[in-house]
Structure 1
Amino acid sequence: MAKKQVIRPTAYILLDKRRVRKDGKKPVRLVVKHQGEMYIWGLNLYLTDIDYRHTQATTITSKLPEDKRKELFSAKTIIEDAIKKARNILLEMGDFSKEAFSKKMFDKNQDTLFTALEAQYKKMVKEGRAGNASSYLCTLNALRLFRGGEKKREGHRVTTIGGKDIPLKDINVQFLKSFEKWFLKEGKSATSIGIYLRNVRVIMNEALSDGKITTTPFGKGKYSIPHAADRKLALTLEDVGKIQFADLSTEPALEKYRDYWIFMYYSGGMNVKDMARLKFKDITVDEISYERAKTSYKKRGQNITIPLTIEAARVIDKWGNKGYNPENYVFPILKHGIDPMKERRTVVDETAKINRAIKKIATTLDIEGSISTYTARHSFATIMKRSGVPFAAISDFMGHSDTKTTENYLAGFEKKAKVEQWANLIPKKNAD
């Protein structure tokens, strides 16, 4: 006798056109269909027909005003998160029941690892911290796979679904060791597992602080997060000179990304995201003053003021946007009005292009080691240290430890003193 085919419940989103508010908006519903029955829940989200169609597109059109795009991006995130969560719950469930599904879907007091990571991811997205959001999402996806989940292609996107969730109170040293062992066996890096487990540690520490759990597996004598082996990241002043003065006039693409790298080096080890976000209003004749993207979500972000060297100014003149509108971006990397996740993807792509170019240039120049955008940052720090700037100040300035020390130290730097310190970064053109 042939086995009876099991028909699993399905979840989808619809705009309920039976209910129309005075402003023309209609409620967005989550629907689960099972054995001919339809179960419907509201998402506390209301959209017009046109706005709903926008949320169903792959990306929100850039033709809309920025405020409208942000509103639609938020709605799109709510919808996508709801349908993904619903489908994951249905995969995890045995026999379907409306009550059990509803509790897992909407009970905010579910103290489980997947739920906590999802909440942290949404929080980061809401705050515009795309890098952190991506990190928590990657952590969640890795743990789903570890717990029996699978990857699923939806059009051009690959998502991770399923996996058995685990209560926070059940996470112990053995669980973390098993996850680490599995992850490394999959050929992943110690750097990545370190990032993911630090994210789990944040979740556990918050749960401990909130009284949701009574102990944590992290800490002295418990689980120790693995660290990647230290890498030699800094170049000598001579090697920086080789890169800066290499004749790349016949290869404009390489020249452009080399010059971006040089700009970051001369701009205090600025990262690609901060460089991409620079606006002309951040630059005067002799200074660059900007707020780090890494801290911009805080009420008091970290403002940095550094000298604008001749070398950095040349890069702006050569590759920067024209017109000098104060609100325009300095470099043609980002476009106005894009959402934080699109901004992150653009920055990641640009970083990859710079890294590929600088590695190729370094190989041609017989410079050893893995050269990247990080190398510009660490070379700045190392060369400044060798020039006599106190190690603690430079280390903090680069974000290696307590940033308050850096802020306090640099606050005492007069403009003239900063310019003198920056002069130590310039290599001799005739260096062999």
Structure 2
Amino acid sequence: MASVKVKFRPSTQKGKEGTIYYQIIHKRVIRQIKTDYRILADEWDEKNGVVVIATDGRRCILYSIKERINRDVKRLNAVINRTQGNGNEFTADDIVEGFQESVNEQSFSQFMEDVIAQLKRLNKERTAETYTATLNSFMRFRKNDDVLLDEISSDLMMEYEAYLKTQGVTMNTVSFYMRILRAVYNRAVEKGLTGQRNPFRHVYTGIDKTVKRAIPLKAIKRIKELDLSLKPPLDFARDMFLFSFYTRGMSFIDMAYLRKKDLQNGILSYRRRKTGQQLFIKWEKCMQEIIGKHEAENTSPFLLPILKYPYEQSRKQYKNTLFRVNKYLKEVARLANIEIPLTMYVSRHSWASAAKNKNIPVSVISEGMGHDSETTTQIYLASLDCSVIDRANSLILKSL
């Protein structure tokens, strides 16, 4: 039985990076495969044969190297299993040759994993998560049987679309997966790794109209008037929902990363994590009431108590808190006699709906919410004066 071991060869010069290599052992014959992965001696766990992920500036680099090593080992084991499955005699050299051939013929999933690793290095964690979910879905369809980039075809994508439909996936989700796969495929084409065969031309990549996830102002009032003083988790969830509504449908992730220094001279300023757009909101009494009620600890740089020390796991904290808030909002909805499933995202839709019902121009709504105008609202020519948006928000809040 052939085996694979990951090894580290330290540099002969103290303080310099050493190299990672793979050791192939078959019938007592040892062969080595060199890599260009370079790490420091204290970044290698000799006992377990793994890269140690540091917390300093090299964390992203080491994480990327670790993922590439895992991918290479997986590929080596696949070569071994395939070679053994043929039933013919083989040598350690055959394994090395098979691995090198597989490197030259890059698979779609391997390329997509590289894209995901790059997204993580760029701190685009949410995008990396959606790409990972898409890859997992595609590999379930393939029953974990990888496919080469050159084998991505129109027929294959139509089969994947048919598979998604049998799984009860909505057409918007089908389009979501297809658009991500298309983006990855086009990136491979740009790099010259495969030719452009337009494999997505016969599958759905549009956007269907969905049921509006908005509730009227009278429902917002009922939520606001609930007495939840004896139910702190529900009280916190309700107030986060209201704060989002008060701040023109601010997304929960932007709320989580609001800093105390972002509020100055009666203006709350923040940059949307999704689009990078800078937004300014006039600070209102109702907003201050929530901050006063749920004030973050003195040592925290954040305005709301969503992210807590230590901040290294902020993404995990944000997701866990959002899960709990959305869970408790279902109970809030029941108490307020609201039939639709209540989530933080409903507040964003509700503000837009309320603004529209007040005859506020779509361009004002778009600017106020920090929308990507090309995909969410009609194209508008110029940025609006913040005072126009603030008056629009005040008009809505006075209706409560």
TM-score (norm 2): 0.84
Which residue type is aligned with residue 131 of structure 1?
Answer: R
Structure 1 residue aligned with 2:134: 139
Residue correspondences, number: 386
1:29 aligns with 2:21: yes
Structure-1 separation of matches of 2:326 and 2:376: 31
Which residue type is aligned with residue 291 of structure 1?
Answer: R
Structure 2 residue aligned with 1:42: 35
What is the 5 A alignment of 1:154-233? 163-167=145-149, 169-186=150-167, 188-209=169-190, 212-219=194-201, 222-225=202-205, 227=207, 230-233=210-213
Structure-1 separation of matches of 2:206 and 2:5: 41
1:94 aligns with 2:94: no
The change in CA–CA distance for 1:25 and 1:88 in structure 2 (over 3 A counts) is closer
Which residue type is aligned with residue 261 of structure 2?
Answer: K
Structure-1 separation of matches of 2:267 and 2:49: 44
The change in CA–CA distance for 1:40 and 1:111 in structure 2 (over 3 A counts) is closer
Structure-2 separation of matches of 1:349 and 1:190: 28
CA RMSD of aligned residues (A): 3.3
Moved more, 274-283 or 19-28: 19-28
Q: Secondary structure at the match of 1:182?
A: helix
The change in CA–CA distance for 1:207 and 1:287 in structure 2 (over 3 A counts) is same
Structure 2 gap segments, 5+ residues each: 84-93
Q: Secondary structure at the match of 1:97?
A: helix
Indicate conservation of the 8 Å contact 2:15/2:40, yes or no: no
The change in CA–CA distance for 1:147 and 1:11 in structure 2 (over 3 A counts) is farther
- Greater RCO (Cα-Cα under 8 Å, separation 6 or more): 1
Structure 2 residue aligned with 1:402: 374
Match of 2:119 among 105, 120, 124: 124
Match of 1:353 among 324, 349, 353: 324
Which residue type is aligned with residue 185 of structure 1?
Answer: T
Q: Deviations over 1:311-349 (max 9, x none)?
A: 222222222323377xx122233357756xx44333222
Structure 1 gap segments, 5+ residues each: 1-6, 150-162, 296-300
Which residue type is aligned with residue 114 of structure 1?
Answer: S
The change in CA–CA distance for 1:210 and 1:72 in structure 2 (over 3 A counts) is closer
How far off is 1:208 after superposition? 4.6
Structure-2 separation of matches of 1:320 and 1:12: 52
Q: Deviations over 1:178-201 (max 9, x none)?
A: 112223434555444332211111
How far off is 1:410 after superposition? 7.6
How far off is 1:139 after superposition? 1.9
Q: Deviations over 1:343-368 (max 9, x none)?
A: 43332222211111111110121112
Structure-2 separation of matches of 1:196 and 1:378: 23
The change in CA–CA distance for 1:12 and 1:112 in structure 2 (over 3 A counts) is same
Indicate conservation of the 8 Å contact 1:11/1:32, yes or no: yes
Match of 2:8 among 10, 15, 18: 15
Structure 2 residue aligned with 1:412: 384
Indicate conservation of the 8 Å contact 1:172/1:217, yes or no: yes
The change in CA–CA distance for 1:143 and 1:418 in structure 2 (over 3 A counts) is closer
Structure-2 separation of matches of 1:312 and 1:173: 52
The change in CA–CA distance for 1:75 and 1:338 in structure 2 (over 3 A counts) is farther
Match of 1:252 among 232, 236, 246: 232
Moved more, 94-103 or 117-126: 94-103
Indicate conservation of the 8 Å contact 1:393/1:405, yes or no: no
The change in CA–CA distance for 1:60 and 1:41 in structure 2 (over 3 A counts) is closer
How far off is 1:72 after superposition? 2.6
